[in-house]
Structure 1
Amino acid sequence: MAVTKLVIFDCDGTLVDSQHIILAAMREAFTNAGLTPLEDADVRSSVGLSPFEAVARLLPDESEEFHDKMAEDFRLAYYRQRTECSLGPDPLYAGTKDTLLALNDAGYMLGVATGNSKRGLQRVIDDHGLEGLFVTLQTADSHVSKPDPSMVYTAVTEAGSDVADSIMIGDTSYDMQMAKRAGCRALGVSWGYHSDTELTGAGAEHIARSFAEVPAVIERLIGKP
């Protein structure tokens, strides 16, 4: 009997390069709150978390109420940047779509687990013609933030797989920690927002330098479908 092998991808920093709009929206939210915007590197370190958790990490001395307001201000700024500034689609990283198609053709089930919203993720899918490739989509709208493993557990259930036959692929330490907490395999990528040291320290079993590497590493870690 064939075993369902599930490959779960993060979105921002893994499938698409969205840092320009994330950084711009966070600068706008800070400015609107009368705060001095943080360095880009500090903001990038929070990418992968839900907006609330990202703000809480960036402003640890502020109240939960303030974090809630800032998270909402960030969401509004992100939407304004997207709709009013005539920004084009966030670009896919080189080899993204070819790799997704190859994995799908090979029989792997594909999913996404992201700190982005359902609307934001659907925009990426629509912009790049990825409709129909993913059997499960997990977003911050219906889950607590990474690194809590709930996104992985739900993805595995929806795909009819098992954590032992699943792998999480992402660019941040939060992705790797989530994978480890869930009990699935963890593959880091070098082209996103966290360093190799952060990824391996959080549990990455391998760090891919390009999408061309990814299928072979997946096969080595969880086997063929």
Structure 2
Amino acid sequence: MPRYPHILFDLDGTLIDSAPAILASFRDAFAQTGIAPARTIDDSVIGPPLNETLQLLAGSDDPALIARLAEAFKASYDSEGYKATAAYPGVGELLATLAGAGLTLSIATNKRLHPTRLILDHLGWGGYFAQVYALDLFTPRLPNKAAMIARLLADQDIAREDAVYIGDRSEDGESADANGLPFVAVTWGYGSLNADEMRPGWQAAAQPAALAALLLAD
């Protein structure tokens, strides 16, 4: 019997390579609004929530400006942009294997809920996940990933010793730590943690097959 019956996943950089689609829609948002980005729009900005990333790219936290950019981004990404999202090789097989073993899979992502569901359906993964949590799932919006994981565990009555969180960034590991969950860092995504960033107790998996073996171990 696997040690963790509940597997919680990050999405961007963990299960999917969403960078090309996201970056294209960021560039489109700045072009459509006529606002000049304050820094290069590249892979380094992938991961944080939308408004946080737009503030970084715009070099401003002006609410009206960020709102304009956010609406332009959503119009681009939620219509056609998200369709350029690709699954990392082997991830579809990973999810099928874990679900087939009777494990309960959930998503806990900084991505907005609407495009998250669009992408899962686009990739044919909607049936794999019992729960899909995003920061904007609730009103008021959840403040961060640690709070989102805590809410998921509480809502679904999941004991901490029965769950593990899988992600690709240090924020993911820190959010797992904040909830007393073990953390596995995947090293195939753009947020890959290097050896210096790994903390005591964190584990790493270099390929989906290796992650499956780790999660299915007794």
TM-score, length-scaled by structure 2: 0.82
Query: What displacement does 1:13 show?
Result: 1.6
Q: Distance in 1 between matches of 2:208 and 2:75?
A: 32
Aligned pairs, how many?
213
Flag the 1:67–1:176 CA change in 2: closer, same or farther, 3 A.
farther
| Structure 1: tracts of 5 or more residues without a match | none
Aligned match of 1:215:
212
RMSD between aligned alpha carbons?
2.8
Matching residue within 190, 206, 209 for 2:187: 190
> Where does 1:1-225 land on structure 2 (aligned, <5 Å)?
5-31=5-31, 32-36=33-37, 38-41=39-42, 44-82=43-81, 88-142=83-137, 143-144=141-142, 146=144, 148-197=145-194, 200-201=197-198, 205-219=202-216, 224=218
Q: CA deviation at 1:7?
A: 0.6
Deviation readout 1:173-222 (Å, 9 max, x if unpaired): 222222122221111111222242388357771221110111232356xx
> Which residues of structure 2 form unaligned runs of 5+?
none
Q: In the alignment, residue 75 of structure 1 is paired with which amino acid?
A: K
Amino acid across the alignment from 1:45: S
* Change in 2 beyond 3 A, CA 1:116/1:62: closer
Query: Alpha carbons of 1:127 and 1:133: their partners in 2 closer, same or farther (altered >3 Å)?
Result: same
Secondary structure of the residue that 1:136 maps to in structure 2? strand
Structure 1 Cα separation of the partners of residues 166 and 20 of structure 2: 22
Q: Which runs of 4+ in 1 moved over 4 A?
A: 201-204
Report the secondary structure of 2:45's partner residue. coil
Separation in 1, partners of 2:153, 2:60 = 36
Contact 2:16/2:87, CA 8 A, preserved across alignment: yes
Q: Give TM-score scaled by structure 1 length.
A: 0.80
| Offset, 1:107 | 2.4
CA 1:4–1:34 in 2, change beyond 3 Å: closer, same or farther?
A: closer
Cα deviations by residue, 1:43-67 (Å, 9 ceiling, x for unpaired): x333222211222344454334433
Deviation at 1:3, TM superposition (A): 8.3
Q: Secondary structure at the match of 1:168?
A: strand
**More divergent stretch after superposition (68-77 vs 17-26):** 68-77
3-state SS, counterpart of residue 196 of structure 1: coil
Q: Percent identity?
A: 25
Q: Report deviation, 1:24.
A: 0.7
CA distance in 2, matches of 1:45, 1:204: 26
